Each structure stands twice: as C-alpha cells, then as structure tokens.
Amino acid sequence: MAKRWGMAALLLFGVYALGMYFYIFHSGGGGIPSALQGSVADPAEFMSDRELLLSEEYSKIRNFLFFVATPFEWLVYLFILLAGLSRVFGKWSVSLTKWRILRNAVYLFLLSILTYIVLFPLDYYSYSLSKSYGISTQSFSSWMRDNVVGFWVNFGMTLIIVSVLYWLIKKSTKRWWLYAWLLTIPFSIFIMFIQPVVIDPLYNDFYPLQNKELETKILSLAEQANIPSEHVYEVNMAEKTKALNAYVTGVGSNSRIVLWDTTLNRLSDNEILFIMAHEMGHYVEKHIYFGMGGYIILTLVGLWLTAKIMTRIIARYGKVLKITRMNDIHSLPLFLLITSFLLFASSPLSNYISRYQESRADQYAIELTGDQEAAVSSFQELTKAGLSEVNPPKLVKWFRYTHPPMLERIIKVAEKQE
C-alpha cells in the first residue's frame, strides 16, 4: 500500500509540474495589452532590450520554481511518513533520553536536518539563479551563513511551538486546536515585537539613516502624516542584492521604518520620499494591526481544519503512514504537510487583501506627496532593479503577488497625473 501511495504521489506531482511548466512557459499570458503599449507602464519604454529579455526569462523560471517547490515539500513529508523515517526518528529520540523536551529536540533536529538536505538543491538553485541574472550580489559563504542562522532560529522557534503543541494534543485530543490558537495570539505579538531588534539584526546590520538631510525630509513628511518618529533606519543590503526595498516592521515602541541602502543608492530623494510616504500609509491605515487580526482569524480556521483532517487521515490511513496516534510526535510531518497545503490554498485570499492594502498605501502616498512623476519613476526603477514581471499571468498574480503588479500601479498613478 505504501509503495502504491508513493508511486501515485510521484505521478501526480509529475503531471502537476508538467502542467505548470506549460502554463508558465507556453500559455502566452502576461503580455502588455495593446491599449497600454507605448505608455509609461510599458516596460519596453523604460527597460533595455536585454533587461526585457532577462526579465521575461527570470520571471518565468522563478514562477515555475515557486509552484513546484511547495508541492515538492509536501512530497518530502509524505515520503518521510511512508518510509517510516518519522517513526524511526521518534524511537531514536526515546532511546536517547527520558526528558520529553530533549526527545522533542532530538526528533525535530533529525527531521529538520533531513528536510534541509533534501530541499537544499532547490534553495541553492534559487540563489544561483538570482546571482546569474545579476540580482544577488551575495557570496556563497555569506549566503550559507544566513542559511545556517535561519536553520537554528527556525529550529529554536519550532521546538518551542512543537513541544507546546504536542503537550496540548496529549491533554486534549478534541480541543487542542483551540488552546493552541489562543496561545498563538500572544506568541505572534511577541515575535512581531522582538523581530526588529532581535531577529532581523542576526541577518543584516541596521543603523540610523546616514543622510541626515534626507532623514529630515522624511521626518517632516512623517510629521505631516501625524506619525511620531525619531529615526529612519538604513540596512546594509548592497553586499547581498541589487533589488530595492523599504518596509515597516514591528509594533509599538519597537516599530521601525527601514530603507535598504540599495534604494538609497539608486533612487532620487523625491522617489525615496514617495516610497516612505507609501510605508507611512500602512502605518496611518493601521495595516499592520489588520494584518495581525487577519492572521489570527486564518490561524483559527487553519488549526481547526488541520485537527479535523489529521484525525480522519490517521483513523483511515494511519497504518500506511506509520502513525498510531495523533499525540505521537512522529505525526508531525503530517501536521506540517496539511498546514502547508492549507497555507498555500489560502494564499490567493491573503494576497488579495495584501494587494488591496498596498494599493491603498499607494493612494495615500500620492495624496501626501502630490508627486505622481516620482511615483511612476520609482515603480519603473523597482521593476528594472528586480527584473520584475509587470503583468503576470493570473495564477501567478493570485498565488505570488502580495503587491499589485507594476502595470496596475503605474497606470493608477498615470491616471491621477492626467
């Protein structure tokens, strides 16, 4: 039975990957509408022929990788269960120590290192692809350092979450999902609070904006928006990428407005002020709190569905998956598979909400700065720096784009300009 399941899963994955390949590379979607050709939104007007060619190639490969990588991860979790590796890891952990937290740590380390090794070729290919197209400037040693740091940060956080989760399942096999959800609320707020000052500095160096004249302009803009702010932060990203970015992170006193140094090096002051006004729009419209509320609601639904699906799968197919009880930690790959699938399935909804918020922030930035020309040119520069696809196919937009495609953003700005 396990062998049949494995063969069926491989066949299904192969058919899916082939279908996505033809959709992304040969569907002909994502072109520029004839009515917009020659406009400021047409990449042919602000990108060179080489940039256009690279953008098309790079976008298609990245889109294909995105749609293949997540189902491949599900396949890995399924094979770990079918091959009995998860149960073996559980037995090893029990034989090594009597302390439950240490058993969890041993099991989770074995599972994490196995999945890391299996998925590493995809991660490395993504890194080398970005480097070959001139987006990444990061050395392999620096990239590996970030990978190792990320592995241990994720391991530490996951160990806490998994230990609490399986303790709850043992205490209440029917309502563990509700208690787990209640605990995710303070935990999520805590992570958002410490991320800017504890987690983010593990990967990059942050410091107050060195261009004090520009900082004065940004703080003046913040004052117009009634945003209390003393500093704008700069992060050293030029050693890792040529892409441009700015963002707001954190909550309360730990919130930060951050500019990548690549953005500072490439954009004019007016373009940077528009981008900062966009980030201020998120603050003024309280998007970070709406986002947190949406995350909490989706987590409740997701945990409830996961509990229902896990119970039924284990009851019906537990022998095939080598799972005897849900409260055994070796059922974790099934939990990860289900939650990953639900997260993937819900991404069109969460991305739609995110795109709406980004569109609102764009509108706010235009109202605050009144500089449509800087808005158009900043969008064009962002497109060139990241070799972005301005008008992606519908599935790509629904599943990948947390921001409106650049074609839509530029057109909206251009309409206001008229």
CA distances from 245 to 235, 257, 258, 329, 385 (A): 10, 11, 9, 40, 10
How many helices and strands in the chain, by DSSP H and E? 14, 4
CA angle 173, 179, 183 (to 5 degrees): 140
What secondary structure letter does DSSP report for 83? T
Please, which residues have CB within 8 angstroms of residue 169's CB and are 6 or more apart in sequence?
176, 326, 327
DSSP labels, 326-372: TTSGGGHHHHHHHHHHHHHHHHHHHHHHHHHHHHHHHHHHHHHH--H
Say whether 279 is catalytic: yes
Contact 405, 357 (CB under 8 A): no
Q: Measuring CA to CA, which residue among 310, 282, 311 is closest to residue 402?
A: 282
Catalytic hit among 234, 279, 358, 408? 279
Helix axes 49-82, 100-132, angle to 10 degrees: 160
Give the integer Cα–Cα distance in Å for 343 and 39.
37
The amino acid present at 414, given as its one-letter code, is A
CA 148 to mean position of chain CA atoms:
18
Please, which residues have CB within 8 angstroms of residue 268's CB and are 6 or more apart in sequence?
374, 377
Q: Measuring CA to CA, which residue among 286, 398, 389 is closest to residue 352?
A: 398
Structure tokens at 269: 């002051």
Catalytic residues: 279
